Amino acid sequence: MIKVENVSFSYDKKNTIISNINFSINDGETVGLIGANGAGKSTILKLLVGLELNTQGEITIDDLKVQKDNLTKIRQKIGYVFQDPDNQLFMPTVYEDVAFAPKNYKFSPEEVHKRTIESLQKVGIEELKDKPIFQLSGGQKKLVTIATVLSMEPDILIFDEPTIALDPKNRRKFIYLVQALKGTKIIASHDLDLIYDTCSKVILIANGKIIAQGQTKTILEDKDLLENNGLELPLSLSKR
């Protein structure tokens, strides 16, 4: 279970970016984090994995407080797909990047290979395995970052704007993948149709505060609530 209690955060001690947020996520839930540009979605995700530690309040992941001495354990539980793949991919080739975590975790060479190929197959990019990262398109890079977290089969998956660079077919494939994946999932996205199709709960952020949280239908079908916070109804609902 993930628990965020009275959490506030600022990058520079001057501007408050996150103010006094509270939420909890049960094991196996898929939760959407939505809000306009700059609302604080990516920052909240960074706080969950302890990429920023200077927080007020308390965050716990399965009873482990997010603090320096717990980070190794916490990061073994969490797979985190960054908003910007360039911040995540650092090995020369696709295969090496996806194999990196399982190799580091000291799985046998056969197990590393199996996990790497299976992860690449899940996102449909096995044929890219020997490509240098720098030769990939934006969408291909995003798919590689998704494969890098799948290779560890973590209990918790965090996706920051997973569909932003994907074409319609890969986007649909990603939705099926999320629906099939077990475990706890948190998705920050402007793709409200993706959130509608995958999440049971939604948290709406504006200016670093939680404006609303609840059942996906309740939040995403509330046109006024969305529009008052810089968002629009999911396309599939606005066409009705």
Ligand X SMILES: Nc1ncnc2c1ncn2[C@@H]1O[C@H](COP(=O)(O)OP(=O)(O)OP(=O)(O)O)[C@@H](O)[C@H]1O
For 70, the token pair is 């717990």
Is residue 42 close enough to count as binding Mg ion by CB under 5 A?
Answer: yes
Task: Provide the minimum distance between the beta carbon of 146 and ligand X in the complex, in angstroms, as a whole number.
Answer: 17
Return the one option of Mg ion, ligand X, none that residue 39 interacts with (CB less than 5 to 8 A, by type): ligand X
Tell me the window of 17-25, 79-87, 90-98, 221-229 that interacts with Mg ion (CB under 5 A): 79-87
Task: Convert the chain into a string of H (helix), E (strand) and C (coil).
Answer: CEEEEEEEECCCCCCCCEEEEEEEECCCCEEEEECCCCCCHHHHHHHHCCCCCCEEEEEEECCEECCHHHHHHHHHHEEEECCCHHHCCCCCEHHHHHHHHHHHCCCCHHHHHHHHHHHHHHCCCHHHCCCEHHHCCHHHHHHHHHHHHHCCCCCEEEEECCCCCCCHHHHHHHHHHHHHCCCEEEEECCCHHHHHHHCCEEEEEECCEEEEEEEHHHHHCCHHHHHCCCCCCCHHHHCC
Task: Provide the minimum distance between the beta carbon of 202 and ligand X in the complex, in angstroms, as a whole number.
Answer: 14
Return the number of the residue (42 or 70) whose C-beta is nearest Mg ion.
Answer: 42
Using CB atoms, what's the residue nearest to Mg ion?
42
Task: Provide the minimum distance between the beta carbon of 43 and ligand X in the complex, in angstroms, as a whole number.
Answer: 3
Return the one option of ligand X, Mg ion, none that residue 17 interacts with (CB less than 5 to 8 A, by type): ligand X
Q: Classify strands 78-81 and 64-65 as parallel, antiparallel or unpaired.
A: unpaired
Return the number of the residue (47 or 120) whose C-beta is nearest ligand X.
Answer: 47
Per-residue burial over 169-180, b if 16 or more Cβ lie within 10 Å, else e, is ebbebbbebbee
Under the rule (CB under 6 A), what is the footprint of ligand X? 11-12, 17, 35, 37-43, 83
Number of shown-chain residues binding Mg ion (CB under 5 A): 3
Task: Provide the minimum distance between the beta carbon of 52 and ligand X in the complex, in angstroms, as a whole number.
Answer: 8
Return the number of the residue (66 or 187) whose C-beta is nearest Mg ion.
Answer: 187
Return the number of the residue (8 or 42) whose C-beta is nearest Mg ion.
Answer: 42
Task: Provide the minimum distance between the beta carbon of 240 and ligand X in the complex, in angstroms, as a whole number.
Answer: 26
Is residue 200 close enough to count as binding Mg ion by CB under 5 A?
Answer: no
Return the number of the residue (32 or 102) whose C-beta is nearest ligand X.
Answer: 32
Is residue 70 close enough to count as binding Mg ion by CB under 5 A?
Answer: no
Return the number of the residue (41 or 142) whose C-beta is nearest Mg ion.
Answer: 41
Radius of gyration of the chain (CA): 18
Binding site for Mg ion (CB under 5 A): 41-42, 83
